[in-house]
Amino acid sequence: MPLYEFQCRSCSHRFEELVRSSDGPPSCPHCQGRELDKLLSAFAVGTGAPAATAGPCGSCGDPRGPGACRFN
């Protein structure tokens, strides 16, 4: 079950929603609007990876930039 991030076009509320293939499209929890934009979410970088495989600072791809990951 993937977790998606949405933004409502009606009220601009941002929220996350677990989306099952058997469910219909989600609605905004704030205004119940159905016109949603699926947002590009940042993913967790380095979770579960040992520090030895992280590489030099800035090479892990953390979207926050060099020096932001937990391996520095």
CB 54 within 8 A of CB 61: no
What length does the chain have? Answer: 72
Cα 19 to chain centroid distance, Å, stands at 13
Structure confidence at residue 2 (pLDDT): 79
Whether this model's pTM surpasses 0.75: no
Average pLDDT per consecutive 10 residues, the chain (72 residues; last block may be shorter): 88 91 88 92 56 56 68 56
Q: In what order do the strands lie in the sheet with 14-18?
A: 14-18, 3-8, 36-39
Q: Count other Cβ atoms within 10 Å, centred on residue 37.
A: 11
